[in-house]
Amino acid sequence: MPPVRLARDTARVIEDRVQLPRLYYVWPTVPDLAGDDAALQLLAYILAGDKNSRLDRRLVYEKRSASSVTAYQDGKRLGGDFWVVATARPEHTLPELQGDIEEVLTRLAAEGPTARELDQAKNATEADFLRGLETVNRKADQLNSYFVRTGTADWFAQDLARFRGVTAADVQRVAQTYLRAPRVILSVVPEGKTDLAAKPVEVTP
């Protein structure tokens, strides 16, 4: 399948029975196990995988404008999506979150991650990988998953190697390639409060 690309930013607002507004950023990326998938997963951790990650530190602890923020690469069989999701605190709006998210993404794409950030992301990913093999049932599920996806059940070493081989330059490149491209900007706001929604921000492909 050819990679999916958006021609321009797409902004949508949904009113729902919620108490707090939530902002979704979504970019089309690559399938599971594709070349950039591992770098995108590490990028997600650097953005929002830990209390010291860039978006958590900025939005949740420094600005205290968000109650939570997450980021993840969702690779599937034919394609993938990269998500950043942030929920505003009371008395804060999504444009506030949006400005800080844009600044963090722009800086990471321009400068890349630090060596410490990349090492922490790799160590956490490897620890999660090994914890996922602690029981017989999980091992069996993983063997089955590898066989379906790669045709080889015993693909543990190859899977781990693709994360270990990611460099800071790789993370910077995928940030520039995918997260500086057009995306979907979805605002979910309380009913009757569309003024809390994020604003369209054009990105040049």
184, 13 contact by CB (below 8 A): no
Render pLDDT for 148-165 as a digit per residue (tens, 0 to 9). 888 888 889 998 999 999
In a domain, 52, yes or no: yes
Report the alpha-carbon distance of residue 70 to residue 50 in Å, rounded.
Answer: 9
In a domain, 139, yes or no: no
Render pLDDT for 170-180 as a digit per residue (tens, 0 to 9). 999 999 999 99
Overall number of domains in the chain = 1
In a domain, 152, yes or no: no
CATH number, domain of 26, equals 3.30.830.10
pLDDT at 182 over 70: yes
Render pLDDT for 4-60 as a digit per residue (tens, 0 to 9). 888 889 999 999 999 999 999 999 999 999 889 999 999 999 999 999 999 999 999
Using CA atoms of 45, 75, 95, 102 in order, give the dihedral in degrees to the nearest 10.
60
In a domain, 77, yes or no: yes
In a domain, 137, yes or no: no
In a domain, 202, yes or no: no
70, 64 contact by CB (below 8 A): no
Q: Which pTM does this prediction carry? A: 0.92
196, 16 contact by CB (below 8 A): no
In a domain, 14, yes or no: yes
In a domain, 94, yes or no: yes
A 10 A CB-CB count for 179 gives 22
**pLDDT score, position 205:** 46
| Cross-strand pairs, 70 | 85
pLDDT at 198 over 70: yes
Sign of CA dihedral 179, 12, 81, 47: positive
Integer CA distances (angstroms), 41 to 9, 64, 144, 150, 197, in order? 23, 25, 22, 19, 28
Render pLDDT for 129-151 as a digit per residue (tens, 0 to 9). 888 888 899 889 989 988 988 88
Q: What is the mean pLDDT of residues 194-198?
A: 91
Range of the domain at 22: 10-112+170-196
Render pLDDT for 50-104 as a digit per residue (tens, 0 to 9). 999 999 999 999 999 999 999 999 999 889 999 999 999 999 999 999 999 999 9
**pLDDT score, position 202:** 64
